[in-house]
Amino acid sequence: MTGNTTAAAPVRHRQWTRARVLLLLKRILAYTVLILLSFLCLFFFYLLLVNASRNHGDIQTGFSPVPGAFFGKNWETLMSSTELPVWRGMFNSLLVSGCVALLSTYFSALTAYAIHTYQFRLRNFAFKFILLVMMVPSQVSVLGFVEMMNDWQWTDSFMPLILPSIAAPAVFFFMKQYMDSALPLAIVEAARIDGSPEFTTFNMIVLPIIKPALAVQAIFTFVSSWNNYFTPALIIKTKELKTLPILIAQLRSSDWLKFDLGQVYMMIALSILPVIAVYLCLSKFIIRGVAVGSVKE
Amino acid sequence: MKKIIALLLAAVLMLPVCALGAEAEGSVLNIYCWNEEFKTRFEAFYTMPEGVEVNWVITPSTDNAYQNALDEALLNQEDAAADSRIDLFLVEADYAVKYSDSDFTLDVIGDVGLSAEDVADMYPYTKAIMTVGDALKGVSWQACPGGFIYRRTYAKEVLGTDDPAAVQQFVSDWDKFGETASKMKNAGYFMLSGFDDAYRCFSDNMSAPWVVDGMIQKDPVIEQWIAMTKEYTDLGYNNKANLWSAESSAGAGADGKVFGYFGPAWFIDFSLAKWTLADSTAEPAVGNGSWGDWAFCQGPQGFSWGGTWICAAAGTDNLSLVKDIMYKMTCDRETLAKIVEEYGDFTNSVETMTQMASGDYRNEFLGGQNHLALFLENAQNIVRAMSTAYDQTCTEKLMAAMVDYFNGVVDLDTAWDNFFTAVEEVHPELSH
Amino acid sequence: MQHNEIPARHKSVSYAKWGYIFLIPFFLSFCIFTIIPLGRTFYYSTFEYFRSGLKTIGPTPVGLRNFVEIFSKADLGKYLWNTLWLWLLGFIPQIIVSLVLAVWFTDTRLHLRGQGFFKTVIYMPNLIMASAFSMLFFALFSDGGPINSAMEMLRMQPYSFLRNVAGTRGLIALMNFLMWFGNTTIVLMAAIMGIDTNLFEAAEIDGTNAWTTFWHVTIPLIKPVLSYTLITSMIGGLQMFDVPQILTNGNGNPNRSCMTIIMLLNNYMGKSKNYGYGGALSVILFVITSVLGLLVYYVLNTDEREERKLEKRSRMGGVQL
């Protein structure tokens, strides 16, 4: 795209052809690698769909590259089960993951902004403190957490699943690192000169600039919350509040009389669809965010 | 001593209930379980009295979640409001003792009020597992005796007969079983599918409990299983499959080379029959894969595998209802007969099963054989008084550790060490 | 120090209080939901406190006995080694592939078509639950699975992936790679796209080749995000649990070679609710992770500080020109 019209001198022309061949080779390499990797990635989804269309006995006896004839039947058994409120579970998962994505990206950005922009005495301490606790495996604190939720009688509600996401050290760390490389302090100072209040500067000027980072982390937090089984399994007890991973685990561990791998795979396939949709929406947003960024420069 | 405490505890907890009389029983019956097996049978055959509602608390058993939830609820039982207390809960064979040997379960006869006659017809082993001291701490509607299920065609080809009584002569003890395995091997078949197939035959007949005084035992019977399985693996007598793996189920298919599997009634209907089908969309019938090409014999040793028991929780506010449910679901012969017809369980009544065994029952999957009679004998022969609260952990960890030995990845001592390490990680109070 | 150029009248207004105000929600939530439970966990590390069946043993203070017992009983060094191995085996290919892809995607000269498709697809494995992914892998690579049948068709020796140490470790690494390379690519891409495009154009006009531009423009400028990737991946690696847990059925076999630290923690905390051992192991893990994490952070940060100074100088120069 760049520069192919400006070639004038014959000497430069020769260089350009060599460069073009190299570029072509590079392009071929890039496409080959990408197609291979894409095949690898998509293969598992295909497999999932194939297995969702087969019955338990067939899946147990091995692998098949072609879909079976049980898609409709698996769907029906899944939908007719009273112990598995699939749609309710999907709604719960959407609600929880949506709130988690929103809260964790917004507040992490705010926290990162505080440490990135302001000079205050505890700044360094705060930063290192968050970094240090980021190192703690979540599995370590979760049992104390559940005990506490029991004491507060907060179990069996969405609050313990949503509120802690306000403090997400890894998301914060990403925002901080991103701001280091993409948010010049000069912009903040310019806003101040224009008389913009601090909180407004953050909401109206800083957030649009770091949109790509926000979109990226929103996806990541949404997905990890969507797939989280560990904490919800310890907190949620009522059928109506169960999220999808709990329902899937329930399916997988059902007894040998009812255990049905076809149904399990159907449920897994179904539970992936919403995340793909969310991802497709947000990934467009990343690309648009980039366009905004380049106009700015 | 323990029993006195249990009785005292039960008495104290039930005082307010008793004082108000039976009329004042709770309006919610809480049942804890890990699947819908009992729920479907309960809903089909039990009519709840008016004014009482059943609350099913179903927690999957993945990652020990069911036992975690149950333990929390039991430990909070005293503080819980009457209507949120556990009334009934279900346990499985491999960890039943954890609950029966505790003050959290009531004596079915002494506390709940079933009579000794009510439970007299149950298979002795189903009571032995749940008996602590003199107290019977749980009852089951099913019994799970097992046997050896073999492929008729291969039996005919190699042994010259597919008649269950004749084939039984080739596998009546482990020496003969080994000889037959060698014949199968020479004919290009596998005697067994894999490593874990014969485990239950041995583990159900151990010479001592898994744990004695906090020490994990190396039981000679288990060592016998290890030695035999290693020998079979090295000689190529088995297909090196793990339990429930795709390889194991493929062995039963039309092209499968596995001669036989060990299993109880539920294994035949639920697992094996499905593995044999070539076309799962078509009706299961002779000609579809190896369906119908199987038969059942008792095998070298009687054993049981699996099973679910119903326990009454200490502190229940629905005692008379609990008693009635226990009676109706596990002692009432009419219900038990219906469960056999409807769900194919082998139910926990000697008389009911004897009647049905002598009837004109034919199992088409087993080539028209009436195998109930053979199950009957095995069910009577099961001796299972060796249960401990650690059976589930020991079984799982032993199978996992020994696979490495069978595959030649580690030597026997390392495999045992890995087993001890794994068990002691889970239960810090144990050593070896 | 660096704010010397700001006009004097701005100095009189202190913005420091906003720093504190903006930190409130994070720290509040953090203290309540993480620090307090964590304190509880650490506190228990000096107690004998577990369940035997339904009986609770303890809590009895035992000093440092839990630590001594963990070090003497559990093969902690082995599990740590396993964890590091499994992480590196997945992370090294992951960071290389992700960097290459991120550069390709953002290379305007290369101008790849169908980027939207590729970017979407490479992230998709991350959308599958680790447990479901492990189930699929297990089916694919089992002894009678399609991979082995394919190998047989190609006249290759069948290989029992899940019965060999190298095979199982390789599969875990491959799964971690597949699940996370798209994620890393996106993060790195966002970082590269944050770079001032003028810098690339300037490099192009100077006739610098792609390789030099990559090493001397791209890498230094995305270093903060690179260090983010490295540190979070390392923390994620040390916390590795789902994939090996499900693929090896919680046993970490063959020969406990895929047993990770968190799988050990899970064994302590599972059936016996061993808060004593669990707490002690958490403390040990906390120390290990902090030391490693801070080490990496400081190594990367010293470079970065120097470079930022250089960059500032060159930028100012540019403005003056």
Q: Helices C275-320 and C223-238 meet at what angle, rounded to 10?
A: 170
Closest CA to B295 of B218, B207, B364: B364
CA distance B220 to chain C (A): 23
- Residues comprising chain B, all counted: 432
Give per-residue pLDDT as tens, A37-74: 999 888 888 888 888 888 877 776 667 778 888 888 88
- Give C214-221 contacts, CB < 8 A, sequence gap 24+: C214/C103, C218/C103, C218/C192, C220/C307, C220/C311, C221/A181, C221/C191, C221/C195, C221/C311
Q: At residue C47, what is the residue type?
A: F
Give per-residue pLDDT as tens, B66-91: 888 898 889 888 888 888 889 999 99
- Kindly report the three-state secondary structure assignment for every residue of chain B: CHHHHHHHHHHHHHHHHHHHCHHHCCCEEEEEECCCHHHHHHHHHCCCCCCCEEEEEECCCHHHHHHHHHHHHHHCCCCCCHHHCEEEEEEEHHHHHHHHCCCCECCHHHHHCCCCCCCCCCCHHHHHHHEECCEECCECCECCEEEEEEEHHHHHHHHCCCCHHHHHHHCCCHHHHHHHHHHHHHCCCEEEEECCCCHHHHHCCCCCCCEECCEECCCHHHHHHHHHHHHHHHHCCEEEECCCCHHHHHCCCCCCCEEEEEEEHHHHHHHHHHHCCCCCCCCCCCCCCCCCCEEEECCCCCCECCCEEEEEECCCCCHHHHHHHHHHHHHCHHHHHHHHHHHCCCECCHHHHHHHHHCCCCECCCCCECCHHHHHHHHHHCCCCCCCCCHHHHHHHHHHHHHHHHCCCCCHHHHHHHHHHHHHHHCCCCEC
Q: At residue B351, what is the residue type?
A: E
What's the predicted TM-score (pTM) here?
0.82
Dist. CA A115–CA A145, nearest whole Å = 27
pLDDT tier, A4 (very low <50, low <70, confident <90, very high otherwise): very low
Domain ranges of chain A: 10-52, 74-296
Supply the pLDDT for residue A291.
39
Question: Is A11 part of the contact surface with chain C (CB cutoff 8 Å)?
Answer: no
How many other C-beta atoms are found inside a 10 Å radius of the C-beta of residue A111? 29
| Inter-chain CB proximity C34 and A167 less than 8 Å | yes
Q: Is C52 helix (H, G, I), strand (E, B) or coil?
A: strand
What mean pLDDT, rounded, does chain B reach?
86
| Domain B2-143+306-355 listed as CATH 3.40.50.970 | no
Residue A294, pLDDT > 60, answer no
Question: Is A280 part of the contact surface with chain C (CB cutoff 8 Å)?
Answer: yes
Answer yes or no: are the C-beta atoms of B86 and B106 closer than 8 Å. no
Dist. CA A74–CA A60, nearest whole Å = 15
Q: Output A227 or B361, whichever has higher pLDDT.
A: A227
Q: At residue A157, what is the residue type?
A: S
Supply the pLDDT for residue A15.
61
Taking CB atoms and an 8 Å cutoff, what residues of chain A touch C286?
135-136, 140
Residue that is written with structure tokens 């949120």 in the block: B84
Dist. CA B66–CA B76, nearest whole Å = 16
Strand partners, B150: B260, B295
Q: Output A296 or A120, whichever has higher pLDDT.
A: A120
Half-sphere exposure of B217 (CA within 13 A, CB side): 18
Residue B282 to residues B276, B344, C212, Cα–Cα distance (Å): 12, 21, 65
Answer yes or no: are the C-beta atoms of A115 and A271 closer than 8 Å. no
Q: Output B223 or A151, whichever has higher pLDDT.
A: B223
Answer yes or no: are the C-beta atoms of B154 and B252 closer than 8 Å. no
Give me the average pLDDT of each 10-residue run along chain C (321 residues).
Answer: 45 75 92 87 88 83 89 84 93 94 85 83 84 81 80 83 90 93 86 78 80 84 83 85 83 89 85 86 84 76 59 43 29
Which of B271, B280, B345 would you mutate first to test chain A, the one with the most A CBs within 10 A?
B280
Taking CB atoms and an 8 Å cutoff, what residues of chain A touch C20?
114, 120, 122
| Domain B146-303+361-426 listed as CATH 3.40.190.10 | yes
Q: What's the CATH number of domain A74-296, 3.30.365.10, 3.40.50.12780, 3.30.1330.60, 1.10.3720.10?
A: 1.10.3720.10
CA distance B140 to chain C (A): 22
Closest CA to C250 of B426, B217, A262, B429: B426
What are the start-end ranges of the H helices in chain A?
Answer: 10-52, 56-61, 71-80, 86-117, 123-134, 138-152, 159-162, 169-182, 185-193, 198-200, 207-209, 211-226, 230-235, 244-252, 261-296
Nearest-by-Cβ selection for B34 from A63, A233, A253: A253
Supply the pLDDT for residue C174.
94
- Residues comprising chain C, all counted: 321
CATH fold, domain C68-320, is MetI-like fold (1.10.3720)
Supply the pLDDT for residue A287.
54
Q: Is C38 helix (H, G, I), strand (E, B) or coil?
A: helix
Choose the weakest-confidence range: A80-89, B232-241, B324-333: A80-89
| Inter-chain CB proximity A180 and C130 less than 8 Å | no
Supply the pLDDT for residue C218.
85
Dist. CA B111–CA B323, nearest whole Å = 9
Supply the pLDDT for residue A105.
95
Residue A7, pLDDT > 50, answer no
Residue A205, pLDDT > 70, answer yes
Chain-centroid distance of CA B49 in Å reads: 31
| Inter-chain CB proximity B60 and A83 less than 8 Å | no
| Inter-chain CB proximity C145 and B67 less than 8 Å | no
Supply the pLDDT for residue A122.
87
Supply the pLDDT for residue C266.
84
Residue that is written with structure tokens 């403005």 in the block: C319
Residue B237, pLDDT > 90, answer yes
Supply the pLDDT for residue C278.
87
Answer yes or no: are the C-beta atoms of C185 and C256 closer than 8 Å. no
Dist. CA C310–CA C304, nearest whole Å = 10
Give per-residue pLDDT as tens, B262-313: 998 878 877 788 888 887 677 788 888 899 999 999 999 888 888 899 999 9
What mean pLDDT, rounded, does chain A reach?
81
Q: What is the mean pLDDT of residues B24-33?
A: 84
Domain ranges of chain C: 68-320
- Give A40-47 contacts, CB < 8 A, sequence gap 24+: A40/C178, A41/C121, A41/C122, A41/C124, A41/C125, A41/C178, A41/C182, A42/C121, A42/C124, A44/C125, A44/C128, A44/C133, A44/C136, A44/C178, A45/A272, A45/C124, A45/C128, A47/C136, A47/C140
Phi then psi for C274, rounded to 5 degrees? -80, 85
Supply the pLDDT for residue B20.
41
Supply the pLDDT for residue A6.
45
Residue A222, pLDDT > 70, answer yes
Closest CA to A105 of A161, A158, A165: A165
Closest-CA residue of chain B to C56: B75
Q: What is the dihedral of CA A258, A261, A266, A272, to 10 degrees?
A: 120
Q: Which residues in B have their CB inside 8 Å of a CB on C? A: 63-64, 67, 71, 74-75, 98-99, 101-102, 104, 240-241, 245-247, 250, 389, 393, 397, 400-401, 403-404, 407, 409-410, 414, 418, 421-422, 424-429
Q: Is C158 helix (H, G, I), strand (E, B) or coil?
A: coil
Answer yes or no: are the C-beta atoms of B424 and B214 closer than 8 Å. no
The complex's ipTM works out to 0.81
Handedness of CA B235, B238, B240, B242 (dihedral sign): negative
Closest CA to A186 of C312, B326, C165: C312
Residue that is written with structure tokens 């100012």 in the block: C316
Supply the pLDDT for residue C96.
94
Supply the pLDDT for residue C13.
64
Supply the pLDDT for residue A62.
66
CA distance C30 to chain A (A): 5
Give per-residue pLDDT as tens, B179-195: 999 999 999 999 999 89
Supply the pLDDT for residue B21.
41
Supply the pLDDT for residue C72.
82
Dist. CA B346–CA B372, nearest whole Å = 9
Domain ranges of chain B: 2-143+306-355, 146-303+361-426
Supply the pLDDT for residue B311.
94
Dist. CA C225–CA A273, nearest whole Å = 30
Residue B210, pLDDT > 70, answer yes
